[in-house]
Amino acid sequence: MSLIVEHQFDDYEQQQQATTLGMWGFLATEVLFFGGMFLGYTVYRLLYHAPFGEASRHLDVVLGAVNTGVLLCSSLTMALGVHEAQEGNRRMVMLFLAITAALGMIFLGIKFFEYYQKFEEHLIPGPHFMWNGADARHASLFFIFYFVMTGMHALHMVIGIGLMAILVFLTWRGKFSSVYFAPIELGGLYWHFVDIVWVFLFPLLYLVERSR
Amino acid sequence: MTETIVPKKIYFRVWGTLLILLAVTVGVAYIHLGWFNPAAAVGIAGIKALIIILYFMHVRYSPKVLWVFVSAGFVWLGMLFLWTLGDYLTRSYLPPPTIWPQ
Amino acid sequence: MSTQLAIFTREHYLNVSYGWKSWLFTRDHKRIALLFLMTITFFFFLGGAFATMVRLELMTPQGDLFQAQTYNKLFSMHGIVMIFLFLIPSIPAVLGNFLVPIMIGARDLAFPRLNLLSWYLLVIGGVFTLWAIVAGGVDTGWTFYTPYSSLFSNTNVVLAVIGIFISGFSSILTGLNFIVTIHQMRAPGMTWFRLPLFIWSHYATAIIQVLGTPVVAITLLLVAVERVWRVGIFDPALGGDPILFQHLFWFYSHPAVYIMILPGMGVVSELITTHSHKQIFGYTFVAFSSLAIAIIGFAVWGHHMFVAGQSQYASLMFSILSFLVAIPSAIKVFNWTATLYKGSISYSAPMLYALGFIGLFTIGGLTGLFLATTAVDLHVTDTYFVVAHFHYIMVGGMVMAYLGGIHHWWPKISGKMYPEGWARLAALIVFIGFNLTFFPQFVLGYLGMPRRYYAYADEFQVLNVMSTAGASILAVGYVLPMVYLIWSLRYGESASANPWGATGLEWQIPSPPPTENFEETPIVEEPAYNYESYSRASV
């Protein structure tokens, strides 16, 4: 329950502001990290619009949309969890963080089911890739980006779920109060960011040329 | 960080808006609008990201210096996109130089 | 003798605790700076060893010392080690870590544990790179152009890429730490425009580290994915575009060269003002020029791709912007020169390095304009002209600034004075050796000698021999400081708090400083560089 102010800071408020700025600085690096992949995808989609459109239609819009909904709900529960932390309600914090993590796991479950589907359909790039339409090379390129981008996102989700587990544990141990809950807030920032990445991934990967 | 405690009903309103926007994204994708389709998709995603950042991530209630940190990543990503696409989209504008006749 | 006793009895950051755990688990930014110092010095000499082998081969026109692929590995490893494991950390991780908190009046950086993690990441990244070297090296050049690096090269690309990826995060964490620290932890009265210019330049560098490095991280990761899973991201045979790799790679790697000069410029601002005992000319211009370089520097990367196949409109834009980015650098050179004018100049070793920097950086920068001109670049790209250009900036500029800074702050860091005579001699040897090594390379490039080739036309031999001879002199100039600085730790004269009579908070605390830096948080009431000209204040 005690307020820890590290020796380099003058007071708790300075420490708070510094850690929040630091977290956003880190999120800025993540924007550029994912951004590089988004740029590559954009360039190739511009160059090879038709095969990318056809490849995109092999993705399951329903599962993708459901997954997006799941993550948006998890962002709500995350925000509510931070809210409860501000009010000092330990049990509610644990509940909301646990639901957030559970929704994240549902997301990953659906994702890996989709990956398995792609494996069954022989759409994993490499020696076993089979494509019925024209321009197999460029269709394969679409799937490379699909797997790398969603895979990198999934890796970040796994880390996020791990963070939630740690935060639930620390909350249970009584480390936080309505005065000190900074790690929960920072964890929330990370979670929302990973959600935002998916918010862009879904339409760009799943909804390329659905109006045919 | 935030001294202001955001009321829960704002969170629910944002969540509702996000789900509606998700439905719109999927719906619009099935209507043939040419080049507007990807623009709408990215645009709606941008709005979703904006309200998540402003409300769920509390940026609306944070000091201005934080707004600079938040926008910096996106501005820099914009620079990466702008100049790279500037290359690809202008490749066809100038024809290659003609070979001088003998 | 009594001052020696005073050091032994007074507690400071070096003697407050002993043992390897007190160093490997330290959170003190000053100790972490020294950890970085030792690591990057090791990598400097490793990179230098590769350079030595390159220059030995180039003494004769035929490829006779090494096989072609071995030579390719040597220049590649030279570049990778020098850039990622020496230059990028160098001044920020050593001098920046040590001085940024003290210069702003803080007790430490905002995130001391992240700072230590940053060092560990550099070491781990270095270990992976060493593993790649020992396993046979890479021959792709430090630029890893695809599809050679992603498909055809038989060397340890993935290992090297992992090493660079990890050390990249070291750089990102340092940058994050500096930005937050400078924003949040300035002492009362230390407004933005009272900050030393060293801080402005490190802030600008940190922006580049944070926003640029992630892009090269993901790019190299994609190359690794391509190699490991044999899929084509940048492979033309599968519809991939090698130019996309270049765009992504240079989006970081061009700003990276500003990481490798801005801190040096910050050091030079400190050296020039202190050793001419004069207020900087045009403080605001110099401060904003650092930011301008950092921001505009992100918009010029295509000047590495004029002959790669990018659109002519893009080349045009990149060329114009590359001219623009030279302006803030020029402003700094003008302002340093104006600072020197009517200053009370002392030709101490740090000043010699700073003066050398100004001259050599100017040459390097002007030749950059040659290269920014597409019509000229068509002829000199991938020749020794480019090699000379960037070595003038990175070695003639940054390394000289680094050495100047190490000497200038040596009394503060170690509590000892270095031997001035030897230091001046070393500075002179470095200057002469440097010019003899690299000036002939401008001529060679202009005459058409391509880079990255182990054999060359016979008529280029004289200039190549001059260059190798210069390199051997340069090596002496670099080894000397190692010797006498270590010597000074034991036998050097004890340093007072302010041996140079300089302004700046770091000179108000003892040499070496106590762990907490300041007994009481200082309150700043004066502008930076508040020297009275025409007189040397007593120490």
Backbone angles phi, psi at A130, to 5 degrees: -125, 130
Query: How distant is the Cα of A51 from the closest Cα of chain C, in angstroms?
Result: 11
For residue A56, being part of any structural domain is answered with yes
Q: Which subunits have 3 or more CB–CB pairs within 8 Å of chain B?
A: A, C
Q: Collapse the DSSP code of C225 into the 3-class scheme (helix H, G, I; strand E, B; otherwise coil) and give the result.
A: helix
**Interface residue A106 vs chain B (CB under 8 A):** no
Angle, helices C420-447 vs C400-414, to 10°: value is 160
Q: Is the pLDDT of residue C454 over 90?
A: yes
Q: Show which residues on chain A lie within 8 Å of chain C, measured between beta carbons.
A: 6-10, 14, 17-18, 21-22, 25-26, 28-30, 32-37, 39-40, 43-44, 47-48, 125-127, 137-138, 140-141, 144-145, 148
Chain-chain contact of C298 with B76 (C-beta, under 8 angstroms): yes
Q: Is residue A152 part of a domain?
A: yes
Contact assessment for residue B16 and residue B3, using Cβ atoms and an 8 Å cutoff: no
DSSP letters of A50-94? HHHHHHHTTS-HHHHHHHHHHHHHHHHHHHHHHHHHHHT-HHHHH
CA distance C177 to chain A (A): 7
Q: Compute the distance between CA of residue C56 and CA of residue C45 in angstroms, rounded to an integer.
A: 16
Q: Tell me the per-residue pLDDT of A18-36, one tens digit each, with 9 for 90 and over.
A: 999 999 999 999 999 999 9
Residue B90: closest C-alpha in chain C? C311
Distance from the Cα of A52 to chain B's closest Cα (Å) equals 13
DSSP-derived 3-state class of residue C494: strand
pLDDT band at C3 (very low <50, low <70, confident <90, very high): low
Distance of alpha carbon C315 from alpha carbon C322, whole angstroms: 10
Q: Which of A19, A30, A32, A141 to mutate to probe the C interface, most C CBs <10 Å?
A: A32
Tens of pLDDT, residue by residue over A75-110, are 999 999 999 999 989 999 999 999 999 999 999 999
Cβ atoms within 10 Å, residue A163: 19
Contacts of C9-12 with CB under 8 Å at 24 or more apart are C10/C510, C11/C514, C12/C415, C12/C510, C12/C512, C12/C513, C12/C514, C12/C515
Single-letter amino acid code for the residue at A130: M
Q: What does the pLDDT read at residue B58?
A: 93
Task: Report d(CA C447, CA C91) in Å as an integer.
Answer: 35
Q: What pLDDT, on the 0 to 100 scale, is given for residue C539?
A: 40
Q: Is the pLDDT of residue C324 over 90?
A: yes
Query: What is the DSSP annotation of C108-137?
Result: S-S-HHHHHHHHHHHHHHHHHHHHHHHTT-
Contacts of residue B95 in chain C, CB cutoff 8 Å?
A: none
Which chains share 3+ C-beta pairs under 8 angstroms with C? A, B
Distance from CA of C529 to the nearest CA of A (A): 26
DSSP conformation letters of chain B: --SSPPPHHHHHHHHHHHHHHHHHHHHHHTS--TTHHHHHHHHHHHHHHHHIIIIIT-GGGS-HHHHHHHHHHHHHHHHHHHHHHHHHHTTTTSPPPPPPP-
A2 lies in a domain? no
Sort out which chain B residues have CB atoms less than 8 A from A67's CB and list them. none
The pLDDT of residue C4: 53
Hey, are the CB atoms on C212 and A32 less than 8 Å from each other?
yes
Statement: residue A188 has pLDDT above 80: yes
The CA–CA distances, whole Å, from B20 to A64, A73, B7 equal 16, 12, 21
pLDDT exceeds cutoff 50 at C481:
yes
What is the per-residue pLDDT across C405-418, written as a single tens digit (0 to 9) for each?
999 999 999 999 99
Check if the beta carbon of residue C241 is closer than 8 Å to that of residue C226.
no
CB hemisphere CA count around C345 (13 angstroms): 15
State the average pLDDT over residues C317-335: 97
Three-state DSSP at A198 gives: helix
Domain ranges of chain B: 8-89
**Residue among A47, A78, A203 minimizing CB distance to B41:** A203
Residues of C whose CB is below 8 A from A125: 229, 231
Number of domains chain C contains: 1
Q: Grade residue C536 by pLDDT with cuts at 50, 70 and 90.
A: very low
Structural tokens at position C332: 């700094």
| Residue A159 neighbours by CB distance under 10 Å | 12
Asked if A39 lies within 8 A of B65 by C-beta distance, the reply is no
Tell me the nearest-neighbour CA distance from B28 into chain A, angstroms. 9
How many CB atoms within 10 Å of residue A143? 21
A141 near B CB under 8 A:
no
Which residues, other chains included, contact C266 with Cβ-Cβ below 8 Å and sequence gap of 6+? C91, C196, C197, C198, C199, C200, C201, C202, C205, C290
Please tell me which residue of chain C has the smallest CA distance to B65.
Answer: C183
Please give the pLDDT value at position C456.
Answer: 95
Q: Sort out which chain B residues have CB atoms less than 8 A from A46's CB and list them.
A: 85, 88-89
Neighbours of C2 (CB within 10 A): 6
Cβ neighbours of residue A162 under 8 Å, at least 6 residues apart?
A: none
Side chain identity at A158, as an amino acid letter? V
| In a domain? residue A24 | yes
Distance linking the first and last C-alpha atoms of chain B: 74
SS3 C512: coil
Q: How far apart are CA C434 and CA B78, in angstroms?
A: 40
The pLDDT > 70 percentage for chain C reads: 97
- C318–B83: do the CB atoms touch at under 8 Å? yes
Cβ-based contacts of A39 with chain B (< 8 Å):
80-81, 84
Q: By three-state DSSP, how is residue C504 classified?
A: coil
Question: In one letter, which amino acid is C216?
Answer: V
Is pLDDT at C515 greater than 70 in this prediction? yes
Give per-residue pLDDT as tens, C238-258: 788 999 999 999 999 999 999
Amino acid letter at C144? F
**Model confidence pLDDT, tens digit, residues B35-81:** 888 899 999 999 999 999 999 999 999 988 899 999 999 999 999 99
Tell me which chain A residue has its CA closest to the CA of residue C172.
Answer: A29
pLDDT at C232: 82
Cβ–Cβ gap B30/A83 under 8 Å: no
CA quadruple A25, A27, A30, A36: dihedral positive or negative? Answer: negative
* Banded pLDDT at C433 (limits 50, 70, 90): very high
Q: What's the confidence (pLDDT) of residue B5?
A: 83
Residue A135 has what pLDDT? Answer: 85
For residue C224, the enclosing domain spans: 2-508
Among candidates B48, B52, B69 on the partner chain, residue whose Cβ is nearest the Cβ of A28: B69
Give pLDDT tens digits for A105-162: 999 999 999 999 999 999 998 888 889 888 888 999 999 999 999 999 999 999 999 9
The label of the residue with tokens 């993550």 reads A71
Greatest C-alpha distance within chain A = 65
Question: Using a CB-CB distance cutoff of 8 angstroms, which residues of chain B are in contact with residue A193?
Answer: 57
Binary contact (B83, C302; C-beta < 8 A): yes
Check residue C456 and give left, alpha or beta (phi > 0: left; psi -120 to 50: alpha).
Answer: beta
Concatenating the DSSP letter of every residue in C430-483 gives HHHHHHHHHHHHHHHHHHTPBSS-S---GGGHHHHHHHHHHHHHHHHHHHHHHH
ipTM of the complex model = 0.94
pLDDT greater at residue B33 or residue C396:
C396
Interface of chain C toward chain A, CB-CB under 8 angstroms: 101, 106-112, 114, 172, 176-177, 179-181, 183-185, 210-215, 217-219, 222, 225, 229-233, 237-241, 244, 247-248, 251, 516, 521
Domain with A155 in it: 12-206
Which other chains touch chain A, taking contact as 3+ CB pairs less than 8 Å apart? B, C
The stretch C497-502 carries a mean pLDDT of: 94
Q: Which amino acid is it at C412?
A: K
Structure confidence at residue C347 as a pLDDT band (50, 70, 90): very high
Contact across the interface for C183 and B65, Cβ inside 8 Å: yes
**Positive or negative, the Cα torsion across B63, B66, B70, B75?**
positive
Measured between beta carbons, the chain B residues lying within 8 angstroms of A78 are: 56
CB atoms within 10 A of CB A1: 9
**SS3 assignment, position A13:** helix
Interface test with B, best of A63, A67, A76 (most B CBs within 10 A): A76
Neighbours of C472 (CB within 10 A): 14
On whether the CB atoms of residues C32 and C26 are closer than 8 A, the answer is yes
Helices B8-29 & B36-51 angle (0-180, nearest 10): 170
Candidates A64, C102, A203, A50; CA nearest to B24 is A203
Residue B23 and residue B29: Cα distance in Å, rounded? 10
CB contact under 8 A, A207 and B25: yes
Q: Mean of the per-residue pLDDT values for chain C?
A: 94
CA atoms within 13 A on the CB side of B25: 33
Contact residues, chain A, for B42 at CB < 8 Å: 200, 203-204
> B82 touching A, CB under 8 A?
no
- Look at B73 and A76 and tell me if their CB atoms are within 8 Å: no
| A55-75 pLDDT tens trace | 999 999 999 999 999 999 999
Closest by CA to C518, choosing from C84, C13, C43, is C13
pLDDT (0 to 100) of residue A26: 96
Partners of C450 in the beta sheet?
A: C383
CB contact under 8 A, A14 and C180: no
| Under 8 Å between Cβ of C277 and C344 | yes
Going by pLDDT thresholds of 50, 70 and 90, the confidence category of residue C8 is low
Q: Which among C270, C289, C243 is positioned nearest to C506, based on CA atoms?
A: C270
CA pair distance C504, C522, nearest whole angstrom: 11
Report how far residue C121's alpha carbon sits from residue C424's, in angstroms, rounded to the nearest whole number. Answer: 35
C441: exposed, middle or buried (C-beta count within 10 Å: 0-12, 13-18, 19+)? Answer: buried
Query: Residues C57-89: pLDDT tens digits?
Result: 999 999 899 999 999 999 999 999 999 999 999
Contacts of C518 in chain A (CB under 8 A): none
Count of domains in chain A? 1
Contacts of C168 in chain A (CB under 8 A): none
Residue of chain C nearest B80, judged by CA positions: C251
For residues C441-464, give the mean pLDDT: 96
Do the Cβ atoms of A32 and B76 come within 8 Å? yes
CB pairs under 8 A between A and B: 136
Shortest Cα distance, chain B CAs vs residue A127, angstroms: 30
The encoded tokens of residue B33 equal: 């609008």
**Residue A4 falls within a domain, yes or no?**
no
- Residue C510 scores a pLDDT above 70: yes
Residue A118 falls within a domain, yes or no? yes
For residue A208, the distance in angstroms to the closest alpha carbon of chain B comes to 7
Average model confidence (pLDDT) for chain A? Answer: 93
- Chain C CB contacts of A141 below 8 Å: 232-233, 238-240
In this predicted structure, what is the pLDDT of residue C445?
A: 96
The enclosing domain of A16 has a CATH number of: 1.20.120.80
- Using one digit for the tens of pLDDT, what is the confidence trace for C97-122? 999 999 999 999 999 999 999 999 99
pLDDT at C449: 96
A28 touching chain B per CB within 8 A: yes
Please name the member of B76, B87, B90 whose beta carbon is closest to the beta carbon of C247: B87
Instruction: Answer whether residue B34 shows pLDDT above 90.
Output: no
Residue of C nearest to B73 (CA): C211
**Which pLDDT does position A2 carry in this prediction?**
61
Residue C384: CATH number of its domain = 1.20.210.10
Q: Does residue C525 lie within any of the structural domains?
A: no
Q: Is B33 on the interface with A (CB under 8 A)?
A: yes
Shortest alpha-carbon distance between residue A200 and chain B (Å)? 6
